[in-house]
């Protein structure tokens, strides 16, 4: 089974390509979390989890899904972390999670994909994104081969203080910075409701004819990047930056 969590489509794209290659189904974990279902899986095959790197480790929407689910004891787990630069401490976070869940950690592989964190980071141009997606395809296919052949990944070993510091920064960021106060729809908004529809956490409601953001936000950047009118801003952080429309928009 191939599970994914994805804000702007990178991890979904990777999961779907891998799933096709290993003849499995790609499943969006929010189909479980939105319905508040406690998932129980009995399949004895390998479990593949694909999600973005948020602050150097797998997005919590994925790790929390895994924590909440039940898997057969000793089932194998392989992680794919999409990122703009590096998956950071993801391998260790994933192997510790496996230990806690009684899963056998097989590996964690990164796939460099276009940057989507428009609120904070420099965005790449559409041309640059096309090249990044094109270059990612062979590495995705290589990962599919690794999964098929049961190969383990060669993980980077982190010094304890480096690992602890990254974890601490991540915790602080989740607690203090993943807020929605700075999201705003400008006068360019045409009230289409797409932002509400694409939010994986159902955190946006249409209040009259404008979107209104709740508190359950993981800063996935789907709403702001996918607005057809580029009518969403995140304070001054997003002004004038290229919106990322997802991997499919980079192909062809
Ligand atoms: C909240 C947030 C934190 C991020 N942190 C990192 C990071 O630490 N390292 C990195 O290389 N990319 C980082 N990124 C970029 C994403 O990991 C990358 O664009 C990813 O492929 C997005 O996947 P998605 O389209 O499936 O949501 C971050 C993006 C967001 C929104
Ligand atoms: S997606 Fe953009 S245009 Fe559509 S409702 Fe949301 S802010 Fe308005
Ligand atoms: S409200 Fe937050 S979680 Fe929902 S789409 Fe926007 S950034 Fe993502």
Same domain for 28 and 113? yes
Residue 132 resides in a domain: yes
Question: Quick check: is 249 in a domain?
Answer: no
Could you tell which of 227, 230, 233, 245 is best to mutate to test the pocket of ligand 2, judged by most ligand atoms within 8 Å of the CB?
Answer: 227
The alpha carbon of 194 and the centre of ligand 3 are apart by a number of angstroms equal to 12
- Say if residues 195 and 226 touch (Cβ distance below 8 Å): yes
Among residues 134, 161, 188, the one where a domain terminates is 161
- In this prediction, residue 34 has a pLDDT band, given cuts at 50, 70 and 90, of confident
Average pLDDT, the chain: 95
In whole angstroms, what is the distance from residue 132 CA to residue 129 CA? 5
| Domain end residue (candidates: 107, 130, 161) | 161
Residue 24 within a domain = yes
Count of domains in the chain?
2
- pLDDT tens digits, 95-121: 999 999 999 999 999 999 999 999 999
Q: What is the mean pLDDT of residues 181-201?
A: 97
Q: Identify which has the larger pLDDT, 161 or 190.
A: 190
Kindly tell me if the per-residue pLDDT of 72 is higher than 80: yes
Same domain, yes or no: 25 and 67: yes
Residue 181 and residue 157 share a domain: no
CA distance 92 to 150: 19
If you take atom 29 of ligand 1, which residue's CA is the nearest one? 117
Residue closest via CA to ligand 2's atom 8 equals 189
Look up the domain containing 31 and give its range.
Answer: 2-161
> What pLDDT digit, counting tens, does each position of 167-185 carry?
999 999 999 999 999 999 9
Q: Look at residues 161, 185, 213 and tell me which one is the last residue of a structural domain.
A: 161
User: Domain with 197 in it: what CATH number?
Assistant: 3.30.70.20
Residue 166: both structure tokens together: 């990254």
Query: How close is the Cα of 83 to the center of ligand 1, in Å?
Result: 5
Q: Is residue 66 part of a domain?
A: yes
Give domain status of residue 17, yes or no.
Answer: yes
Q: How far is the CA of 11 from the centre of ligand 1 (A)?
A: 10
pTM recorded for the entire structure: 0.96
Residue 250 lies in a domain: no
Ligand 2 centroid–CA 195 distance in Å is 6
Give burial (CB, 10 Å; 0-12/13-18/19+) of 221: buried
**CATH label of the domain that carries residue 12:** 3.40.50.360
């Amino acid at each position: 089974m191939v599970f994914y969590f994805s804000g702007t489509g990178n991890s979904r794209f990777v999961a779907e390509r891998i799933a096709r290659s290993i003849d499995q189904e790609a499943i969006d974990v929010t189909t479980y979390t939105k319905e508040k279902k406690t998932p129980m899986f009995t399949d004895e095959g390998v479990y593949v989890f694909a999600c973005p790197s948020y602050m150097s480790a797998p997005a919590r929407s994925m790790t929390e899904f895994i924590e909440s689910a039940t898997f057969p004891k000793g089932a194998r787990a392989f992680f794919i972390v999409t990122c703009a630069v590096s998956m950071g401490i993801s391998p260790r976070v994933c192997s510790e999670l496996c230990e806690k869940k009684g899963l056998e950690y097989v590996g964690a592989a990164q796939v460099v994909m276009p940057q989507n964190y428009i609120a904070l980071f420099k965005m790449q141009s559409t041309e640059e994104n096309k090249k990044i997606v094109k270059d990612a395809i062979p590495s995705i296919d290589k990962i599919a081969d690794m999964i098929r052949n049961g190969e383990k990944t060669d993980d980077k070993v982190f010094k304890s203080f480096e690992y602890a510091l990254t974890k601490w920064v991540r915790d602080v960021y989740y607690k203090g910075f993943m807020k929605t106060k700075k999201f705003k729809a400008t006068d360019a908004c045409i009230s289409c409701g797409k932002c509400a529809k694409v939010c994986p956490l159902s955190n946006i409601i249409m209040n009259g004819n404008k979107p209104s953001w709740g508190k359950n936000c993981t800063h996935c950047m789907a709403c702001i990047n996918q607005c057809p009118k580029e009518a969403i801003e995140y304070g001054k952080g997003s002004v004038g930056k290229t919106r990322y429309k997802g991997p499919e928009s980079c192909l062809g």
